[in-house]
Amino acid sequence: MMSFPGISLEDLKKFYGELKDGEDNQRKFRDFISQEKWKLTDFQRWLDEAVQKKLSKEFQDIVTLLGKRLGFSVEFGYYSQVPGKTPYDGLWENEKLRIVIETKLGTWIRYDINQLGEYLDRVSSERGGNQITYGMYVVGQTEDLGPLSDQVRGNRYVNRIRIISHAALLKLVEICERTHLKNEQVSRILIPFDAVNVGELVELIQMLVEEAISREGPGLPPLLGSPLVEVPKVSRSSLSDLEEGDIVVCPSRPEGVDFLKRNQAWGFVRIRREPRYFALYVSSPIHAITHFGEVEKVAEPKDSRVANPEEYETYGVGKKVIQLKAGSLKELGDPITKGTQPIPQGIWYTTLSKFLRANTLDDLR
């Protein structure tokens, strides 16, 4: 879909005028930025402009809308006090969590932190339900959040309020979209951690590592390319006549198997060694090593049999292609499944002897 880099918030302001609660220009502006065609880079450009030009109302609405891209249902708030309403800037919700958004272009808060805390109590009381209500300041200034953090730490609502810069929020949206994080996982990043149970933080880090692993591989293939090659299915015991040697294990999403079959090669990876063998670990929902092959060479992408390598998502300078010997690729009839230990991030190595004996991935260490 098209992006329109020439449209600035100043241009929109000339068209819509000053945004005011309940007026038609407010609805039109919110409808405009809510269109599906806008890319994350458009929101980044607009937020940066809003900070630079002190466009607080536009900043408020765009920040609120970003919650939708994190998987929350969103509700725009109010620019000023409205009789009978809790004047929060925005609201993000899911089945378990409610986040009251308060936006600031700088880190000096004009009002007492208690104001946001009181909004939390009012929203929780008015709306009821089982959701836990938290507050979050989204701040335009990125250099020093210390003064605001100190104010929050000294407040009685400290356990219910969090702070994030707009730049960090944009990074979180990008991570979410690139790694397909679920809204429940995003919520665990945003809401306060149990300061006693550090295992919760460990679980979150492990989840992010596994999501990163699942992104390994070539990315989406070109529409045109070599046909898929039928791969024989064999047991690992049938490989016992091969000479002992190192195996490089490469992680992949399930769709990466098509790339492997189509090219009889794997890319694009940063690798310095030239191992004798190759194995493919397929991430969720498979969680197993499913394919094996003999390495012919580790080559620059342009010198490999992969057509148009620059068209793949993970192609990059310094990355190589592991090219397999013709006809050596095999699907394992007895794949090596995930054990109890965390899966290493990126490529890793084992030996053929361990590979042949392994019951789970734990046995390859």
Are residue 188 and residue 237 in the same domain, yes or no? no
Mean pLDDT on 131-135: 91
In a domain, 218, yes or no: no
Structure confidence at residue 232 (pLDDT): 94
Are residue 22 and residue 109 in the same domain, yes or no? yes
pLDDT tens track for 182-232 = 888 888 888 865 555 556 666 666 666 655 555 556 655 444 445 566 899
In a domain, 323, yes or no: yes
CB 339 within 8 A of CB 242: no
Are residue 242 and residue 304 in the same domain, yes or no? yes
Are residue 180 and residue 322 in the same domain, yes or no? no
C-alpha 323/C-alpha 127 separation (Å) is 59
Domain boundary among 141, 170, 192: 192
Structure confidence at residue 342 (pLDDT): 80
Structure confidence at residue 313 (pLDDT): 76
pLDDT above 70 coverage of the chain, percent: 85
Q: Which residues pair with 280 in a beta bridge?
A: 250, 291
Q: Is the pLDDT of residue 1 over 50?
A: no
Domain boundary among 129, 162, 192: 192
Structure confidence at residue 31 (pLDDT): 95
Are residue 168 and residue 275 in the same domain, yes or no? no
Looking at every residue in the chain, the average pLDDT score rounds to 86
Residue 159's pLDDT band (cuts 50, 70, 90):
confident
Please give the distance of CA 295 from its chain centroid, rounded to a whole number.
Answer: 32
Q: Is the pLDDT of residue 94 over 70?
A: yes
In a domain, 305, yes or no: yes
Domain that holds residue 76: 9-192
In a domain, 94, yes or no: yes
pLDDT tens track for 45-79 = 999 999 999 999 999 999 999 999 999 999 999 99
The residue with greater pLDDT, 176 or 100, is 100
Buried b (16+ CB within 10 A) or exposed e, 31-47: eebeeeebeeebbbbbb
Are residue 250 and residue 305 in the same domain, yes or no? yes
The residue with greater pLDDT, 87 or 154, is 87
Q: Is the pLDDT of residue 260 over 90?
A: yes
DSSP secondary structure, 148-193, as one string:
HHHHHHTSTTGGGEEEEEHHHHHHHHHHHHHHT--HHHHHHHHSPP
Q: Is the pLDDT of residue 2 over 50?
A: no
Are residue 103 and residue 244 in the same domain, yes or no? no
For β-strands 288-299 and 277-282, DSSP reports them as antiparallel
CB 47 within 8 A of CB 166: yes
pLDDT tens track for 16-27 = 889 999 999 999
Are residue 245 and residue 113 in the same domain, yes or no? no
- pTM equals 0.59
Structure confidence at residue 223 (pLDDT): 40
Residue 240's pLDDT band (cuts 50, 70, 90):
very high
C-alpha 259/C-alpha 279 separation (Å) is 14
Structure confidence at residue 224 (pLDDT): 41
Are residue 180 and residue 255 in the same domain, yes or no? no
In a domain, 221, yes or no: no
Are residue 187 and residue 285 in the same domain, yes or no? no
Structure confidence at residue 218 (pLDDT): 67
Mean pLDDT on 333-338: 96
Are residue 43 and residue 182 in the same domain, yes or no? yes
Structure confidence at residue 105 (pLDDT): 87
DSSP secondary structure, 24-42, as one string:
HHHHHHHHHHT-TT--HHH
CATH number at residue 25: 3.40.91.30
* Count of the separate structural domains present in the chain: 2
* 205-209, 252-256, 325-329: the lowest-pLDDT one: 205-209
**SS3 label, residue 279:** strand
pLDDT tens track for 286-314 = 999 999 999 999 999 999 988 888 888 78
Structure confidence at residue 209 (pLDDT): 62
Domain boundary among 131, 163, 192: 192
In a domain, 201, yes or no: no
Lateral strand order in the sheet of 97-104: 73-76, 90-93, 97-104, 132-139, 161-165
In a domain, 1, yes or no: no
Q: Which of 17, 21, 108, 117 is nearest to 61 (CA)?
A: 21
In a domain, 197, yes or no: no
Sort 305 into a burial class: Cβ within 10 Å, 0-12 / 13-18 / 19+: middle
Structure confidence at residue 7 (pLDDT): 86
Are residue 83 and residue 170 in the same domain, yes or no? yes
* Strands annotated E in the chain: 73-76, 90-93, 97-104, 132-139, 161-165, 233-234, 246-252, 265-269, 277-282, 288-299, 320-324, 330-337, 348-351
Kindly list the distances between the CA atom of residue 29 and the CA atoms of 35, 68, 223, in Å, as whole numbers in the listed order.
Answer: 10, 16, 38
Q: Is the pLDDT of residue 279 over 70?
A: yes
